[in-house]
Amino acid sequence: MVSDKVVITNPTGIHARPASNLLNFAKKFKCTVTLKAGDKTANCASIISLLALGAKTGTEIEVICDGEEEAVALPEIVNFIKELKD
Protein backbone atom coordinates (compact mmCIF):
# COMPACT_ATOMS: atom_id res chain seq x y z
CA MET A 1 0.00 0.00 0.00
CA VAL A 2 1.27 3.46 -0.96
CA SER A 3 -0.26 6.88 -0.42
CA ASP A 4 0.26 10.56 -1.14
CA LYS A 5 -1.66 13.77 -0.49
CA VAL A 6 -2.98 16.25 -3.02
CA VAL A 7 -5.12 19.39 -2.84
CA ILE A 8 -8.16 19.71 -5.12
CA THR A 9 -7.57 22.67 -7.46
CA ASN A 10 -10.56 22.18 -9.78
CA PRO A 11 -12.75 25.27 -9.19
CA THR A 12 -15.87 23.15 -8.76
CA GLY A 13 -14.28 20.30 -6.79
CA ILE A 14 -15.06 16.67 -7.53
CA HIS A 15 -18.62 16.72 -8.84
CA ALA A 16 -20.25 14.35 -11.37
CA ARG A 17 -18.12 14.93 -14.49
CA PRO A 18 -14.69 15.05 -12.79
CA ALA A 19 -15.69 12.07 -10.61
CA SER A 20 -16.60 10.09 -13.73
CA ASN A 21 -13.30 11.04 -15.39
CA LEU A 22 -11.35 10.04 -12.28
CA LEU A 23 -13.20 6.72 -12.01
CA ASN A 24 -12.43 5.88 -15.65
CA PHE A 25 -8.77 6.86 -15.26
CA ALA A 26 -8.27 4.93 -12.00
CA LYS A 27 -9.84 1.70 -13.25
CA LYS A 28 -7.09 1.18 -15.83
CA PHE A 29 -4.72 0.20 -12.99
CA LYS A 30 -4.62 -3.21 -11.32
CA CYS A 31 -5.05 -1.91 -7.79
CA THR A 32 -7.67 -0.54 -5.43
CA VAL A 33 -7.70 3.27 -5.34
CA THR A 34 -9.18 4.98 -2.30
CA LEU A 35 -9.48 8.70 -1.55
CA LYS A 36 -9.62 9.96 2.00
CA ALA A 37 -10.70 13.46 3.06
CA GLY A 38 -10.94 14.03 6.79
CA ASP A 39 -12.97 11.15 8.24
CA LYS A 40 -14.58 10.22 4.89
CA THR A 41 -13.25 7.65 2.44
CA ALA A 42 -14.24 6.94 -1.15
CA ASN A 43 -13.55 3.99 -3.41
CA CYS A 44 -12.59 5.27 -6.86
CA ALA A 45 -14.53 2.40 -8.44
CA SER A 46 -17.82 3.96 -7.25
CA ILE A 47 -19.07 7.30 -8.55
CA ILE A 48 -21.56 7.53 -5.66
CA SER A 49 -18.70 7.04 -3.20
CA LEU A 50 -16.65 9.77 -4.91
CA LEU A 51 -19.55 12.22 -4.87
CA ALA A 52 -20.27 11.45 -1.20
CA LEU A 53 -16.70 12.46 -0.36
CA GLY A 54 -17.77 16.08 -0.93
CA ALA A 55 -14.29 17.20 -2.05
CA LYS A 56 -14.37 20.89 -2.89
CA THR A 57 -11.68 23.27 -4.10
CA GLY A 58 -8.89 23.47 -1.53
CA THR A 59 -9.74 20.11 0.09
CA GLU A 60 -6.65 18.04 0.87
CA ILE A 61 -7.20 14.40 0.05
CA GLU A 62 -5.05 11.35 0.57
CA VAL A 63 -4.79 9.00 -2.40
CA ILE A 64 -4.22 5.40 -1.33
CA CYS A 65 -3.31 2.69 -3.84
CA ASP A 66 -3.16 -0.97 -2.86
CA GLY A 67 -2.42 -3.79 -5.27
CA GLU A 68 -0.30 -5.03 -8.12
CA GLU A 69 0.27 -1.68 -9.88
CA GLU A 70 0.18 0.60 -6.83
CA ALA A 71 3.63 2.14 -7.37
CA VAL A 72 2.81 3.06 -10.97
CA ALA A 73 -0.77 4.17 -10.27
CA LEU A 74 -0.13 6.53 -7.34
CA PRO A 75 1.88 9.28 -9.08
CA GLU A 76 -0.31 9.12 -12.18
CA ILE A 77 -3.55 9.43 -10.19
CA VAL A 78 -2.16 12.23 -8.01
CA ASN A 79 -1.13 14.11 -11.16
CA PHE A 80 -4.54 13.43 -12.75
CA ILE A 81 -6.28 14.94 -9.70
CA LYS A 82 -3.98 17.99 -9.76
CA GLU A 83 -4.97 18.63 -13.39
CA LEU A 84 -8.65 17.72 -12.98
CA LYS A 85 -10.95 20.00 -14.97
CA ASP A 86 -14.71 20.27 -15.46
> Of the residues 2, 4, 9, 15, which is catalytic?
15
**12 labelled catalytic:** no
What is the number of alpha carbons within 13 Å of residue 1 lying toward its C-beta?
A: 7
What is the number of alpha carbons within 13 Å of residue 84 lying toward its C-beta?
A: 31
Task: Label residue 49 exposed, middle or buried (CB < 10 Å: 0-12, 13-18, 19+).
Answer: middle
CA 38 to chain centre: 14
Q: Which residues are known to be catalytic?
A: 15
